[in-house]
Chains A and B, each alone.
Chain A
Amino acid sequence: ELKVEQNPLFLSMQEGKNYTIYCNYSTTSDRLYWYRQDPGKSLESLFVLLSNGAVKQEGRLMASLDTKARLSTLHITAAVHDLSATYFCAVDGGETSGSRLTFGEGTQLTVNP
């Protein structure tokens, strides 16, 4: 059974600081996704990482994937309050899984002024 673990689960940081969220998963997969969820809202796709060594950046967020280590990171640079949300990583079990995603528990990020 594919397991996905995120840490930390809760993160409180000051504006302007940098931090990294980690996502470990338990089986080989080349496809990993990061989503953002605001309270009471649905999931917004942030990044799609489809190969080992993939790195993608959008604004203050950068995601990377190391399939050999079964690890993805979401790095936050110079955090701002608008980044406050819950961030989920999700792993695709591969073509045989038919796009079935297994999600981590989520990291609840709070950025304080």
Chain B
Amino acid sequence: ETGVTQSPTHLIKTRGQQVTLRCSSQSGHNTVSWYQQALGQGPQFIFQYYREEENGRGNFPPRFSGLQFPNYSSELNVNALELDDSALYLCASSLTVNTGELFFGEGSRLTVL
């Protein structure tokens, strides 16, 4: 069984740039969620995708956007990067939209200078 994989693992950007993070969900899982974890904090829900549509969004501005593809993989895009966007971005997949239990990838650590 293939787990959740994310890329890239680390990246550095400057303020104002744009970034795309990628995630492949666990085999058989059709729901993907994205979380932002700032240093020393718990993960914060960004949004969830189910059947290629956004299915719930946390308190994040529109410059955070996403996609889910027919193979259930997903992208997180962040435009106009700010220093506070520096964080670990975690992708999690679940069997389906209401099963609850999430399986997390290793994360993408973004540093904005």
Chain A residues packing against B (C-beta within 8 Å): 4, 31, 33, 35, 41-45, 48, 50, 88, 90, 92, 95, 97-106
Contacts and interface: CB of A to CB of B under 8 A. Distances in A.
Contacts, number: 66
A31 B55 CA distance: 19
B101 A45 contact: yes
Interface residues of B, number: 26
Interface stretch (B12-20, B43-51, B73-81): B43-51
Contact of B33 (A31, A33, A99, A105): A99
Given A42-B105, A42-B107, A98 B42 contact: no
A109 B41 CA distance: 14
B42 A33 contact: no
A42 B106 contact: yes
A99 B42 contact: no
Interface of B: 31, 33, 40-45, 48, 50, 55-56, 58, 90, 94, 97-107
A50 B98 CA distance: 13
Given A42-B90, A92-B100, A106-B42, A100 B107 contact: no
Q: Which of A44, A88, A100, A103 has the most CB of B within 10 A?
A: A100
Q: Which 5 A-B pairs have the closest CB atoms?
A: A103-B42, A43-B104, A42-B106, A42-B104, A92-B100
Nearest to A6: B42
Contacts of A35: 104
